[in-house]
Structure 1
Amino acid sequence: MKVTKGGTVSKLLAGVEIPEMFHARQTFPRQSIAPEDIPGIVEEQIAQPQFSEKIKPGMNIAITAGSRGIRNVDIITKAVVDAVKRRGANPFIVPAMGSHGGATAEGQKEMLAGFGITEEAMGCPIKSSMEVVELGYSSLGKRVVLDKNAYESDGIIVSCRLKPHNAFRGTHESGPCKMMTVGLGKQVGAQTVHSDGMGKIGQNIPTMAAVVLEKAPILFAIPCIENAYDETAMIEAILPENILEREAELLEVAKANMPSLIVGEGDVLVVDEIGKNYSGTGVDPNITGTFSTDFAHGGIQVQRTAFLNLSEISHGNALGVGLASAITSKIFDVMDIEAMYPNCLTSTVLKSACIPCVVATDKEAIQLCIRTCNGIEGKPVRMVRIANSLHIGQIMLSAAYYEDVKAGKYPGVEALDEPAPLEFDADDNVVTPVVM
């Protein structure tokens, strides 16, 4: 399919007016750890006797690394590697990302390289394989498997991020338990966890994690939590016997640190860039409201959503496009189906990979969304624009919000300038930056 500018669609959209917009700052609590302080905090956590005594000289220790664009993930991972080395053990890194990376060992290693996690940078081997061993069955009858390299090690350190999931709700969402069952379960384990659908995954993860904790050599977990500005806010080591209980407690801490689009609702949301480095579904629906299932809710409420670009680090994996009302040909033309579909086949969630309306330019994507909104004729369009779903400290809002923002209707939102037209280049792609 070829999408070109100047056809019937372009003519139908030509007269759609795009509202003037202004830059705004959103302010959230900002407890954070400076990147240069991360190695010291990781060492401080692991140096506690209950953790350090588990690492003995000569042990071969697997350290997990996932597929998300976690802030400072390379620094955190290297700090764990160095802490293991200091105690005379031999660390190696295991990609723990289920079916991501095209469900291949090479693809998963390539994903880690995109985050700066390479053998050279980390100073240790990366053992990437899709081979698993069977550990047993959960209390709900689900088969539990684990990465073979990790299982055959002398100990596993579960390094990950802990945050709310983008497609379901439960006591354990994205964190150590998911890393052990979905991540270290590779494609086979991830498929099993998701096999009952998103309505049951919240039960499958902790019950399957209980088997991993019993049968696999888990030394401890060391998850990080991020603040609303996508900055590392907390790092805490957890003993295996405490993981199930402590993860549930830390999930509430992570929820309290989540940012939001404070205006809460509008007509159109424009996301400049999507990608796997922002969320498993291209954007975090906890921010954008674009959920792929009926088992989670939240985020801004709008009628239409436009996605304009795909991040280079996603390597063509445009999973999440199905959550948009319109995308540009820039995204469509680089989509790699082989990278996208394995995740859908594993998770059983197809909506994220469905193709929405495809138009030639940024301008037309925005115009299409405005044109197809219902009930706004004769009213000023309420449009929100963000750079991506991870960085929403600065956003753009249409003129319809301006007087309310100036009047203080939205605590935490500050206007940085006055409404002005968005600027587009000769190809009708937006050039006005979201961040001033």
Structure 2
Amino acid sequence: MSLNNSLPRFFRVQQSFPRPQLADVAGRVNEQLAAICGDPAQWTGKSIAITVGSRGVHGIDHITKACVDYFINAGAHPFIVPAMGSHGGATAEGQAAVLDRFGINPQTMNCPIRSSMEVVQVCTAKEGFPVYFDRLASEADGVLVVNRIKPHTRFAGDIESGLMKMMLIGLGKQLGAETYHRVIVNHSFDQIVRSVAHEVVSRCRILGGLAVLENGYEETADIVALPATDIERREPELLRQVKSWMPKLPFDRSELLVIDRIGKDISGTGMDTNIIGRKRNDHAAIDGDSPDIHNIYVRSLTPATHGNASGIGLAELCHQRVIDALDREATRMNCITAGHLTGAMLPIEFASDQLALSTACHLAGFGPPAQVTAMWIRDTLSLGEIECSEYFFQQAQERSDLQILATPSPLEFDAQGNLVERF
């Protein structure tokens, strides 16, 4: 029997999400920084550390440049500090290289990039563990924490991924990130992030935070500056706002999810667990998580992840090219530091898409191919257009939030049995 006969046909839908957009990024940055920084004259001659993380934040080069320009115009001496825990291979050179791939380097930013894995111990937290902070940032007259606010991929609560987490994990570098992930085993994430952020704000000359908010299309929706003492109080409300804009898969249950690519530039877990419904368990939706996906098939790693396949352990199947591109040491280091060992475990690999999809559909149960529920996405950041198996076609026709762009048709494969791209 032909493998194609064991596969469902697929159709394309377009989804609609809330789409607030910020038109003037530089103007908004200037306005917001002026609101929290007070008289610009007070920064004349002062050194200001500006943080940049490792995530693929939309327009982060323009946002960072606007921050640099603000302080240069105030007569200060800004410099940029990579604040990304153990990412970039846990080396100073690797972290500077991550920024360079974002277009952030001394030439484009007109200021130094000061990358180091050295930390200082700020104090001992009330829970008894050491609090670490980037040594170069600790020597600055002021630190501006810049980061995107978004749901965390493993922890749920009022505070997830954002300004406070950057003060905890990002500026703690590898030693801090490893320490805090260990401590979180004994205490809640919420308790530890609040405890560390409180110490950092009170001891490390944090002048404020610049929160980047993105809409469901990964575009900058707003930029909000918070005084250092307001970060803990206001970050939860910004997280709630972002959650209301978040994209999602169009259907709540599916036997198969095909993902073209995963990577650290997509999500900390390679694929966003908030999208795939596996925030609390690597291989199943539990405790109210949605959607409920039976099997996940990953086709490749992004070029920007440079072999770091952290999160590949959430998939049950993958293409051989994923294994071939894998940097085992970088993946191991990242997952050990994060305390997420299963994130580095390997799924079953297949030499072609055709073999992988045929196997996945066989695992969907006893029934005709037309009854297999499946969705196919480029990555968990790109959910505007999605391919869905024909089982969902009638449901899609009845949904006002979905526009059908193409009717069901057979999947096409090249001579090697790999999918002819539809995205």
What code does the residue aligned with 2:90 have?
A
What do residues 322-356 of structure 1 show as CA deviations (whole Å, max 9, x unaligned)? Answer: 11010111111010012111112211111111001
In the alignment, is the contact (CA less than 8 A) between 2:266 and 2:380 conserved in 1?
Answer: yes
Q: Distance in 2 between matches of 1:104 and 1:209?
A: 24
Cα distance change of structure 1 residues 424 and 241 upon mapping to structure 2, 3 Å threshold? same
1:224 aligns with 2:212: yes
Residue in 2 that maps onto 1:119: 106
Residue in 2 that maps onto 1:135: 122
Which structure 2 residue ranges, 5 or more long, are not aligned? none
Q: Distance in 2 between matches of 1:309 and 1:55?
A: 50
Q: Distance in 2 between matches of 1:125 and 1:48?
A: 25
- Within 5 A, what are the aligned runs for 1:79-228? 79-197=66-184, 200-228=188-216
Which structure 1 residue ranges, 5 or more long, are not aligned? 1-10
Residue in 1 that maps onto 2:229: 241
Cα distance change of structure 1 residues 178 and 156 upon mapping to structure 2, 3 Å threshold? same
In the alignment, is the contact (CA less than 8 A) between 1:291 and 1:323 conserved in 2?
Answer: no
Count the aligned residue pairs.
419
1:354 aligns with 2:345: yes
Q: How far is 1:167 from its partner? A: 0.4
Q: Distance in 1 between matches of 2:288 and 2:196?
A: 25
- Within 5 A, what are the aligned runs for 1:400-419? 400-408=391-399, 411-419=400-408
SS at structure 1 position matched to 2:22:
coil
In the alignment, is the contact (CA less than 8 A) between 2:7 and 2:369 conserved in 1?
Answer: no
In the alignment, is the contact (CA less than 8 A) between 1:180 and 1:212 conserved in 2?
Answer: yes
- Within 5 A, what are the aligned runs for 1:9-408? 14=3, 17-34=6-23, 37-48=24-35, 50-51=37-38, 53=40, 56-197=43-184, 200-291=188-279, 293=281, 298-374=289-365, 380-408=371-399
Q: Distance in 1 between matches of 2:296 and 2:328?
A: 22
Q: How far is 1:374 from its partner? A: 3.9
In the alignment, is the contact (CA less than 8 A) between 2:117 and 2:134 conserved in 1?
Answer: yes
Query: Share of identical aligned residues, percent?
Result: 40
Cα distance change of structure 1 residues 42 and 367 upon mapping to structure 2, 3 Å threshold? same
Q: Distance in 1 between matches of 2:41 and 2:265?
A: 33
What do residues 36-69 of structure 1 show as CA deviations (whole Å, max 9, x unaligned)? Answer: x111111111122654548511111100000101
What code does the residue aligned with 1:191 have?
E
Greater displacement, 40-49 / 349-358: 40-49
Q: Distance in 1 between matches of 2:42 and 2:76?
A: 7
In the alignment, is the contact (CA less than 8 A) between 1:220 and 1:239 conserved in 2?
Answer: yes
- Within 5 A, what are the aligned runs for 1:411-430? 411-430=400-419
Q: Distance in 2 between matches of 1:64 and 1:292?
A: 29
Q: Distance in 1 between matches of 2:277 and 2:356?
A: 18
Greater displacement, 329-338 / 425-434: 425-434
SS at structure 1 position matched to 2:413:
coil
Q: Distance in 1 between matches of 2:197 and 2:365?
A: 46
Q: Distance in 1 between matches of 2:322 and 2:277?
A: 20
Q: Distance in 1 between matches of 2:100 and 2:140?
A: 23
In the alignment, is the contact (CA less than 8 A) between 2:36 and 2:226 conserved in 1?
Answer: no
What code does the residue aligned with 2:53 have?
G
SS at structure 2 position matched to 1:266:
strand
Residue in 2 that maps onto 1:3: none
Q: Distance in 2 between matches of 1:50 and 1:196?
A: 34
Q: TM-score, normalised by structure 1?
A: 0.92
What code does the residue aligned with 2:312 have?
V
In the alignment, is the contact (CA less than 8 A) between 1:285 and 1:298 conserved in 2?
Answer: no
In the alignment, is the contact (CA less than 8 A) between 1:271 and 1:385 conserved in 2?
Answer: yes
In the alignment, is the contact (CA less than 8 A) between 2:270 and 2:310 conserved in 1?
Answer: yes
Residue in 2 that maps onto 1:4: none
SS at structure 2 position matched to 1:220:
strand
Greater displacement, 47-56 / 329-338: 47-56
Residue in 2 that maps onto 1:6: none
Q: Distance in 2 between matches of 1:74 and 1:135?
A: 30
SS at structure 2 position matched to 1:144:
strand
